């Protein structure tokens, strides 16, 4: 028996580019153990500090490339393999000759690390996989000498080192052309390192996630507030309501993200460890309308008395509730609610600190619930080398 993770230099390189008529998919999977009380309060424990990584692509090959792909499968589909990560890249900043064991890269990213596989890419289709022996500033030493010469500016991608799925389908278009459906799961512990980044927007000690959904993707929300019922099948039933607040599970799509935006979203997921962590995220909707201007005031009045009818009796000393006010110039104000009262057919909200806002300059007021990811899986679909789509689910929580 062999331990494949110890033999990255023996892995076979899949050299064929994705067919960009179909997305290139990168899936990250954490594992969270969640213990839920009767009142739906949670205790969450991350069982993975690093997510499992799976990549999937369609490769259109023809003639010599098809023969090479066929032979790749016949000769070692079940052997360790390397697929370039087509969502990440850096560029060489110095030239290296064939036979050399040194590459030069200014400010190498996190995935350029000891023991990691890098895939060097040339415009003519030449690919070469190398294993990093050490990194010192801009100098990258490789375990084995280079087979080819590599000029400054050539693209370098992280190599995803792992196993292809047991069944890989090739769809034949004609005798000399076919599309391979490739999926590779990285070996746990051998994934390219990722930079989690740091939260740039915080409130009340937590990160705030501000990505706006693409409304053409039809976001949806499940409103969840269970009632316990005792029903013997005959006679009357009894109801119990141990859950004090409604929970919502929202599915949203984020389209046309740039590489930097996609990485920022993925970093939120990495910092949260999937479902483990929590953050603030607004409903992204106009949940209330300001009724009157407020000048350096801790009280704002919003239209209608429905909020006061439902929440006036709530003790906000023990229940945390926040709102986000977005002004027309893009400024975001966030406040905790300390009290809610009826006010002449409207609702007066008492905030933990003063605001100055007018009906003319407020674009949106939204609830700002404490939230977590509703799944330990996050898939980024790259529709081109520069743009990606992400569909994510969020769940409000009571903590």
Query: DSSP string covering 171-189, please?
Result: EEEETTEEEEEEEEEEPTT
Tokens of 256: 């046309």
DSSP SS3 for 250: strand
Q: Is 251 exposed, middle or buried (0-12, 13-18, 19+ CB in 10 A)?
A: middle
Q: Where on the phi/psi map is residue 110: left (φ > 0), alpha (ψ -120 to 50), or beta? A: alpha
| CB atoms closer than 10 angstroms to residue 61 | 21
Among 186, 215, 230, the domain-final residue is: 186
Looking at the structure, tell me whether residues 88 and 42 fall in a common domain.
Answer: yes
Q: Kindly compute the dihedral angle of the four CA atoms of residues 330, 336, 341, 343, in this order, to the nearest 10 degrees.
A: -20
Looking at the structure, tell me whether residues 240 and 151 fall in a common domain.
Answer: no
Q: Is residue 149 part of a domain?
A: yes
Q: Is residue 286 part of a domain?
A: no
Nearest residue to 192 via CA among 379, 381, 81, 52: 52
CB 31 within 8 A of CB 45: no
Q: Is residue 288 part of a domain?
A: no
Q: Is residue 96 part of a domain?
A: yes
Q: Is residue 196 part of a domain?
A: no
Looking at the structure, tell me whether residues 259 and 124 fall in a common domain.
Answer: no
Looking at the structure, tell me whether residues 180 and 217 fall in a common domain.
Answer: no
In angstroms, rounded to a whole number, what is the distance separating the alpha carbons of residues 375 and 23?
21
Q: Which residues of the chain have pLDDT under 70?
A: 1-3, 5-6
Task: Indicate the number of domains in the chain.
Answer: 3
Q: What is the pLDDT of residue 383?
A: 97
Nearest residue to 98 via CA among 64, 122, 68: 122
DSSP SS3 for 69: helix
Q: What is the pLDDT of residue 3?
A: 66
Looking at the structure, tell me whether residues 116 and 243 fall in a common domain.
Answer: no
Looking at the structure, tell me whether residues 210 and 303 fall in a common domain.
Answer: no
Start-to-end Cα distance in the chain: 48
| DSSP conformation letters of 11-68 | PEE--PPP-TTS-EEEEEE--EEEEE-TT--EEEEES-SS-EEEEEEEEEEETHHHHH
Among 186, 220, 240, the domain-final residue is: 186
| DSSP conformation letters of 198-242 | --S-EETTEEB--PPP-GGG--EEEEE---EEE--SSS--EEE--
| DSSP conformation letters of 288-344 | B-B-S-EEEEEEEEES-SHHHHHHTT--TTTS--EEEEEETTS-EEEEEEEEEEEET
Q: Is residue 191 part of a domain?
A: no
Looking at the structure, tell me whether residues 220 and 79 fall in a common domain.
Answer: no
Q: Is residue 193 part of a domain?
A: no
User: pTM for this structure?
Assistant: 0.93
CB proximity list for 136: less than 8 A, separation 6 or greater: none
Looking at the structure, tell me whether residues 252 and 364 fall in a common domain.
Answer: no
In angstroms, rounded to a whole number, what is the distance separating the alpha carbons of residues 186 and 54?
6
Which domain covers residue 182, as residue numbers?
4-186
Looking at the structure, tell me whether residues 355 and 382 fall in a common domain.
Answer: no
Q: Is residue 192 part of a domain?
A: no
CB 197 within 8 A of CB 267: yes
Among 135, 158, 186, the domain-final residue is: 186
Looking at the structure, tell me whether residues 207 and 178 fall in a common domain.
Answer: no
Looking at the structure, tell me whether residues 358 and 381 fall in a common domain.
Answer: no
Q: Is 362 exposed, middle or buried (0-12, 13-18, 19+ CB in 10 A)?
A: buried
In angstroms, rounded to a whole number, what is the distance separating the alpha carbons of residues 198 and 56?
28
pLDDT (tens digit, 9 = 90+) per residue, 382-395?
999 999 999 999 99
Q: What is the pLDDT of residue 1?
A: 54
Strand partners, 204: none
Looking at the structure, tell me whether residues 354 and 267 fall in a common domain.
Answer: no
DSSP SS3 for 143: coil
């Amino acid at each position: 028996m062999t331990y494949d993770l110890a033999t990255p230099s023996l892995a076979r390189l899949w050299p064929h580019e994705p067919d960009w008529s179909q997305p290139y998919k990168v899936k990250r999977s954490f594992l969270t153990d969640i213990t839920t009380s009767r009142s739906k309060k949670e205790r969450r424990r991350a069982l993975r500090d690093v997510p499992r990584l799976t990549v999937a692509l369609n490769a259109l090959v023809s003639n010599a490339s098809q023969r090479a792909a066929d032979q790749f499968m016949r000769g070692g589909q079940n052997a360790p393999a390397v697929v370039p990560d087509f969502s990440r890249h850096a560029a060489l900043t110095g030239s290296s000759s064939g036979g050399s064991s040194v590459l030069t890269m200014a400010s190498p990213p996190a995935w350029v690390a000891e023991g990691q596989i890098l895939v060097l890419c040339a415009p003519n289709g030449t690919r070469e996989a190398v294993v990093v022996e050490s990194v010192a500033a801009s100098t990258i030493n490789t375990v084995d000498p280079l087979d080819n010469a590599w000029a400054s500016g050539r693209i370098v991608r992280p190599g995803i080192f792992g196993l292809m799925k047991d069944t890989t389908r090739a769809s034949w278009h004609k005798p000399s052309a076919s599309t391979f459906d490739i999926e590779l799961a990285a070996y746990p512990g051998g994934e390219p390192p990722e930079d989690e980044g740091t939260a740039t927007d915080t409130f009340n000690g937590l990160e705030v996630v501000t990505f706006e959904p693409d409304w053409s993707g039809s976001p949806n929300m499940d409103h969840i507030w269970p009632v316990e019922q005792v029903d013997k099948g005959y006679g009357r039933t009894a109801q119990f309501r141990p859950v004090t607040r409604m929970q919502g599970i929202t599915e949203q799509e984020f389209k046309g993200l740039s590489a930097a935006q996609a990485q920022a979203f993925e970093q939120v997921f990495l910092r949260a460890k999937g479902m483990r962590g929590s953050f603030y995220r607004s409903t992204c909707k106009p949940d209330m309308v300001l009724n009157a201007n407020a000048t350096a005031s801790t009280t704002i009045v919003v239209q209608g008395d429905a909020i006061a009818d439902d929440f006036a009796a709530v003790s906000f000393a023990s229940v945390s509730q926040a709102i986000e006010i977005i002004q027309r110039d893009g400024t975001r104000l966030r406040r905790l609610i300390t009290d809610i009262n009826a006010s002449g057919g409207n609702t007066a909200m008492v905030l933990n600190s003063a605001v100055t806002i007018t009906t003319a300059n407020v674009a949106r007021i939204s609830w700002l619930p404490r939230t977590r990811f509703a799944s330990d899986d996050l898939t980024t679909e790259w529709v081109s080398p520069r743009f990606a789509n992400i569909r994510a689910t969020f769940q409000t929580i009571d903590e």
